[in-house]
Amino acid sequence: MQIRIATRHGTLSGDTQSKVIAKLEKLPRLFERLSGIEVTIDLEHRDQPAVDVRVSAEHKHDFVASHQGEELIAALDQVIHKLEQQLRKYKQKIQDHHRSAGARPAELAGEAGGAAE
């Protein structure tokens, strides 16, 4: 999985970049099929940095979240929380879909057997 960080209207220190990467590396624990993460940090307003994150997953559109806050790390934490919610919801949807799909053939077989009697 690749993590790319882009900044607008300024630069980030190496320490800040490593903190951002460390926080984002935790996302694949929620959903294993992540292929890339793109982070855009806008420092145009130094007192209100904006963080946009786009997470690419296999066989799925991108998950996107953004937040503007007073501190960069706090805004990043909010974005990560939003992405975690999206990933959990999608993963639950996939799991529910697979569970219900397995039950259908058994239900149809039961109905067919009952009609033959």
Would you say residue 65 lies in a domain?
Answer: yes
Would you say residue 116 lies in a domain?
Answer: no
CA–CA separation, 31 and 58 (whole Å) = 10
Would you say residue 117 lies in a domain?
Answer: no
> pLDDT tens, 38-84?
999 999 988 999 999 999 988 777 899 999 999 999 999 999 999 99
pLDDT at residue number 82: 95
For 21-50, what is the mean pLDDT? Answer: 90
Would you say residue 48 lies in a domain?
Answer: yes
Q: Letter for the amino acid at 32?
A: E
**How many structural domains does the chain have?**
1
CATH number for position 103: 3.30.160.100
Would you say residue 102 lies in a domain?
Answer: yes
30 lies in which domain range? 2-110
Unique residue bearing structure tokens 């855009």:
40
Cβ count near 67 (within 10 Å):
18
CB contact at 8 A, 53 and 85: no
Would you say residue 115 lies in a domain?
Answer: no
Q: Is 75 exposed, middle or buried (CB count within 10 Å of its CB: 0-12, 13-18, 19+)?
A: buried
> Taking 60 as the threshold, does the pLDDT of residue 15 lie above it?
yes
Supply 48's token pair.
């209100």
CB contact at 8 A, 24 and 3: yes
Supply 32's token pair.
């294993």
